Structure 1
Amino acid sequence: MSARPTLPFTLVFVGSTVLEMIGDSLAIRFLHYGCKPLIMALLMLYVRQCIQSAGWSDYARWLLIGMVFALLGDVLLMIQEIDLFALGLASFLVMQLCYCRAFWLSMRRNRFSVRLTGLVVLGFVVYGALFLVLLRPEFVKNSALTVLWWPVVLYTFCLSLMGLLATQRQQLSGYAWVVAGALLFILSDSAIAIDKFLQPIPGSAWVIMSTYAAAQYLIAVGMMQQLTSDASLKIAT
């Protein structure tokens, strides 16, 4: 039983991501609108197939629910005619909470390393604090952004918590994949905030979407590796 995506699937996934970035950067609407939802839709199909093969688990269920909200967030944020940033942020906030729940449930058999946890907590606290300190002046200067400040603070906390929980899955199958995915997700969201609120990033569509798609891919594959590993252990016993 293997959770590794097939080569054709991976090529289709990468191709869809590249076409989305081309469509976004060159304002080709049919590419942008057609390919962006495919990123999460393809991963949801992959996760669903793994679940059908290995069986349901509580953490796989929460992962899939989170992916649904990620797809919703992608759709809301890709619409350029209306500013739906707040709704998109809310969708991804729910996704973060679902992923946090999935990571937490997947750790039930894992032992925490208090020392490592403390060091990692410090790292994420420093990241979150610095990130908010950099953003705060822009929200103070622009009254239109005031209403978004506390949602952004809450989102930053949940994003950091998701990253923290990902690092605590030591000795579980797919650990490195999930950690890499969580860190790339933080990088992608940081790039979004910098580009939107601080300073435009050259080639932002490529930076943001490449890291985002890679993050979702790595998290999905890593979690499905654990699912298939757990299923194999059940069969063995």
Structure 2
Amino acid sequence: MHIKPTRTFSLTFVAVTLLEILGDGFDMRVLHYGCKPLIMALLMLYVWQFCQAVGFVAYIRWLLAGMAFAMLGDILLMIREVDLFALGLGAFLIMQLCYSIAFWKSIRAGRQTITGRWLMRSAIPFVLYLVIFLLLLHPAFVENPALEPLWWPVVVYAICLNGMGLLAVQRQGLPGYNQVVTGALLFILSDSAIAVNKFLSPFAGSTWLVMTTYAAAQYLIMVGMIQQVGKEMRNGL
């Protein structure tokens, strides 16, 4: 089993993502509904087959759990006939927590240590971004009573999202570090675009921006994490 996805798998993943974006952008429900769940399903299938060949480890089990909730969130958010945003937000919140645990366990499995100085330094950009973004969002919730019940769930989600990004950065020195960090940052960008489009000001091209960054984020996180598994199995850890 290849550690890095084959070209065929990667091209299939890109094709499914593009078809989903086209289906959503041009209101082709069959294409949209058929392809969106496949984004995470393909990644989960790859991880499952990879681990069947080399063995499962604790952090990959948490990663798979998070991917399952991401797929659930995708399904909930793609349904337009009823507003399931809050449920979708909840599914992705659980995904963030699962990914955070996966990153933490991967750090422990790699026998890395997190120093207080590095943790504080690396936390600064995430905290600044979180505070600034929430300050920008808050007026929209104050001015619209219908959005007010969502404010604190959004705050909790934003904290967990940036916490996931911070833990990704703590994997410094482990295999797949760059991919996982890039994926986490793209995930923050994707969710930020969703928030801007939904709560502040809808903008042209939002579907393309959200889905390309989201799909790339999930792909890169998956690739980075299985690289660590591959190295550990080769080293007999």
TM-score range, shorter chain: over 0.9
> What is the RMSD of the two structures over their aligned residues, measured on CA atoms?
1.0
> What is the match of residue 163 of structure 2?
161
Q: How many Å apart are 1:217 and its aligned residue?
A: 0.1
Q: Which of 187, 190, 208 in structure 2 is aligned with 1:188? A: 190
1:123 has 2:135 as partner: no
Q: Of the candidates 150, 153, 157, which is equivalent to residue 152 of structure 2?
A: 150
Instruction: Tell me the amino acid that sits aligned with residue 59 of structure 2.
Output: Y
Work out whether residues 2 and 225 of structure 1, in 8 Å CA contact, stay in contact via their aligned partners in 2. Answer: no
CA shift, 1:111, in A, is 2.4
Cα displacement string for residues 87-142 of structure 1 (whole angstroms, at most 9, x for unaligned residues): 00000000000000000000011122443322211111101101110110011111
Q: Could you report, residue by residue, the CA deviation over 1:36-76 in whole angstroms, capped at 9, with x for unpaired residues?
A: 00000000001101111221111000000000000000000
Name the counterpart of 1:13: 13
Asked whether 1:71 is paired with 2:71, we answer yes
Matched residue of 1:56: which SS?
coil
Measure the CA separation in 2 of the matches of 1:121 and 1:179.
Answer: 13
| TM-score (norm. length: structure 1) | 0.97
Q: Using CA pairs under 8 Å that are at least 6 residues apart, name the structure with larger relative contact order, 1 or 2.
A: 1
Q: Is the 8 A contact 1:2 1:228 kept in 2?
A: no
Residues of 1 paired with 2:107 and 2:194: CA distance? 30
Instruction: Report the equivalent of 1:233.
Output: 235
For residues 201 and 56 of structure 2, what CA distance do their matches in structure 1 show? Answer: 44
Q: Distance in 2 between matches of 1:116 and 1:39?
A: 34
Aligned match of 1:43: 43
Where 1:18 maps in the other structure, the secondary structure is: helix
Structure 2 unaligned regions, length at least 5: none
User: 1:70 touches 1:92 (CA, 8 Å); kept in 2?
Assistant: yes
- One-letter identity of the residue aligned with 1:71: M
* Equivalent residue letter for 2:12: V
Matches of 1:51 and 1:98, distance apart in 2: 18
Aligned partner of 1:59 in structure 2 is: 59
2:209 corresponding residue in structure 1: 207
CA distance in 2, matches of 1:212, 1:46: 18
**Could you tell me how far apart the structure 2 residues matched to 1:90 and 1:208 are?**
18
Structure 1 unaligned runs (5+)?
Answer: none
> What is the distance in 2 between the residues matched to 1:114 and 1:74?
36
Distance 2:18 2:127 in 1: 33
How many residues align structurally? 235
Q: Is the 8 A contact 1:69 1:95 kept in 2?
A: yes
